[in-house]
Chain A
Amino acid sequence: MSPPPDSTGPDPIPPLVDHLFRTEYTRLVAFLTRRLGAERLGVAEDIASEALLAALKRWPQSGVPDNPGAWLVEVARRRAIDLFRRDRVSVRMETAIQAELIASLDDAVPVAAGTDPLADDQLRLIFLCCHPALPRISRVALTLKIASGLSVREIGRAFLSDEIAVAQRLARARKLLREIHAPVELPPAGEIAVRLDAVLDVLYLTFTEGHTAHEGDELVRHELCHEALRLAELLLQRPDTAAPKVHALAALFCFLAARFPTRLGADGIPVLLADQDRSRWDRMLIHRGLQHLDRSAEGAEISRYHLEAEIAGHHSLASTWDATNWPAILTAYDRLLALSPSPVVALHRAVAVRQVEGDAAALTALEAAPHLATLGRFPAYHSLRGELLVGLGRTGEGVSAIRRAAELARSTPVRRLLERRVAGLAVANVMTRDPGASR
């Protein structure tokens, strides 16, 4: 037997671009959904998966094509046309609609050098996934599944939720989009500002979920943050969606992501911002964040994202916790609390008050926070209150509060961090016979 000369082994080709399959998945779903309509979102997802599967089977033996994206679009297009020609009955379609769909699939994808011809399709897809008719949590799940190419299992892992529950939520979301005949278009000029807010809210939730240190797959969590930033920067590529607040959100993501290398100690226990080794922060991301922050100042509106980005930016630029520009951070928190009063903002503001005005003022601020009952469910509230009490010499009360925080902690690493603190305080208390302990 004499095999063809090119089949004796693949060329020494470089590894695939990071996340190529995931990125291509979303491009394919975007391409197909644009042409097939939101009511065939599920069909588009299936065809996109099949095209990737074809690559999975083909590329190891034939090598990766020069333009993998174009190759995949071609495979997806052919599969879709085949599906509508052959399986017209199973998708219950009228001949006229079938012809129209096939024609739309036959349209050439314009290719301009240096730009992604499917970028607009992807933006349409993001707006579809963040449709206001969907519940907020479904928007997040659908965006991750479709606009980010995460699997149901990965979404479940990221949100500590059951795979079946995620699948059902997605199925309900697709059904709803079908029922309301949601258009796969960018919202009209009059609506785009409001619809953009819904998209930013989803990106913010996605990033926060990835960033908040509770249990779950650390790798997938970083992916969530990476995706939120990627989608924000996709919005920035187009004038109608490149609002200054999108730059502000992207800046916030960059500043927070820059700290990833130092968030966890070698033992897997979170390291507090005050104790992180700042020399290991990602300078490139901080730089990118500063560029976004710069561009975010171009409009008249100051959104909560502006204020949060400003705060995160101050942290990124400070050489130490103590050398941080706390007065500026406190001012930003004051404005943030006025703009969107929330228990979490009040909690973070109290930290800034402590740095600027001391423990007593911080305790007063903390206890004046809105929705104190809600705040009481957060371990961070009790641990901060505990630290403030300890700082004021009321060690016994302080230790109880930190112990309460440890009880409420959702994740084992955070609980261990708090327990370690309680143990440390108990030792210090015995050594100094702190008068606060007898109160």
Chain B
Amino acid sequence: MSQFLLILHDTTKALASISPEEMQRVVERYRAWSTRVAEAGQLRGGEKLKDEGGKHLTREAGKYVVRDGPFSEVNEVIGGYFIIEAADYKAAVAICADCPHLDLKGRIELREVDAM
């Protein structure tokens, strides 16, 4: 078994136009998804990150520099992450395939934890 990190990229624009009733349905689907993954013993962790975009640190000319996020050019922020357990990428993709995050035009980045 390997561990995979699901990085949830949010595009907040897609969310702006949905109705309260639709939001509620999304929350229900999310909870159903994470409950199912947890009950299958595949969920190892996960947290929501704050929306403000965070800080970006670099070292330039010997001094560290802090910049405010978000960092990508498409106005995306990383909204949160999950850690799941799966045999391989194929199995991990199958777990993510019906994650409601995708219904919200969000993007899931899937990375295998290097256990070496």
Q: How far is the CB of A79 from the nearest CB of chain B, in Å? A: 11
With beta carbons under 8 angstroms apart, the residue of B15, B18, B28 that contacts A15 is: B28
A239 interface residue, CB < 8 Å from B? no
B105 interface residue, CB < 8 Å from A? no
Interface contact A151-B19, CB-CB below 8 Å = yes
A3 interface residue, CB < 8 Å from B? yes
User: Residues of B contacting A52 with CB < 8 Å?
Assistant: 20, 23
With beta carbons under 8 angstroms apart, the residue of A9, A13, A151 that contacts B22 is: A151
Given A3-B44, A3-B83: A60 and B27 within 8 A (CB)?
Answer: yes
User: Residues of B contacting A154 with CB < 8 Å?
Assistant: 19, 21
- Contacts of A1-45 to chain B: CB distance below 8 A: 1, 3-4, 7-10, 12-13, 15-16, 19-22, 24-25
Interface contact B19-A57, CB-CB below 8 Å = no
User: Residues of B contacting A150 with CB < 8 Å?
Assistant: 19, 21
- Contacts of A47-71 to chain B: CB distance below 8 A: 49, 52-62
Contact string, B1-31, partner A, CB cutoff 8 A, digits 1/0?
A: 0010000001010011111111110111011
A420 interface residue, CB < 8 Å from B? no
Contact string, A139-171, partner B, CB cutoff 8 A, digits 1/0?
A: 000000000011101100000000000000000
Given A10-B31, A15-B28, A24-B20: A57 and B44 within 8 A (CB)?
Answer: no
User: Residues of B contacting A20 with CB < 8 Å?
Assistant: 24
Interface contact A8-B38, CB-CB below 8 Å = yes
Interface contact A57-B80, CB-CB below 8 Å = yes
Contact string, B45-68, partner A, CB cutoff 8 A, digits 1/0?
A: 111100100000000000000000
User: Residues of A contacting B114 with CB < 8 Å?
Assistant: none
Q: How far is the CB of A231 from the nearest CB of chain B, in Å? A: 16
For B15, give the chain A residue with the smallest CB separation.
A53
Interface contact A16-B28, CB-CB below 8 Å = yes
Main secondary structure of the interface of B (DSSP, over half): helix
Docked CA distance A43–B23 (Å):
20
Residues of A in contact, count (CB < 8 Å): 35
Given A57-B10, A60-B30: A7 and B47 within 8 A (CB)?
Answer: yes
Q: How far is the CB of B2 from the nearest CB of chain A, in Å? A: 13
Docked CA distance A381–B7 (Å):
62
B79 interface residue, CB < 8 Å from A? yes
Docked CA distance A62–B27 (Å):
12
Interface contact A153-B48, CB-CB below 8 Å = no
- Contacts of A81-121 to chain B: CB distance below 8 A: none
Docked CA distance A204–B13 (Å):
36
Of the candidates A1, A3, A56, A223, the one having the most CB atoms from chain B within 10 angstroms of its own CB is: A56
Given A19-B21, A151-B22, A153-B19: A56 and B34 within 8 A (CB)?
Answer: no
Docked CA distance A10–B28 (Å):
12
Interface contact A9-B34, CB-CB below 8 Å = yes
User: Residues of A contacting B79 with CB < 8 Å?
Assistant: 57
B39 interface residue, CB < 8 Å from A? yes
Docked CA distance A154–B27 (Å):
19
For B29, give the chain A residue with the smallest CB separation.
A60
Interface contact A7-B16, CB-CB below 8 Å = no
Q: How far is the CB of A13 from the nearest CB of chain B, in Å? A: 8
Docked CA distance A414–B100 (Å):
38
Interface contact A21-B28, CB-CB below 8 Å = no
Q: How far is the CB of A121 from the nearest CB of chain B, in Å? A: 17
Interface contact B10-A25, CB-CB below 8 Å = no
For A56, give the chain B residue with the smallest CB separation.
B23
User: Residues of B contacting A62 with CB < 8 Å?
Assistant: 48
Docked CA distance A16–B23 (Å):
12
Interface contact A21-B21, CB-CB below 8 Å = yes
Apart from A4-B45, A10-B34, A19-B21: 9 A-B pairs, beta carbons within 8 A: A21-B20, A21-B24, A21-B27, A25-B20, A54-B51, A58-B48, A59-B27, A60-B100, A154-B19
- B residues sitting closer than 8 Å to A (CB atoms) are 3, 10, 12, 15-24, 26-28, 30-31, 34-35, 37-39, 43-48, 51, 79-80, 83, 100, 113
12 A-B pairs with C-beta separation under 8 A: A3-B44, A8-B45, A13-B31, A19-B24, A22-B19, A56-B27, A57-B80, A60-B100, A149-B21, A150-B19, A151-B19, A151-B20
* Among all A-B residue pairs, the 5 with the closest Cβ atoms: A9-B38, A3-B45, A151-B19, A60-B30, A21-B24
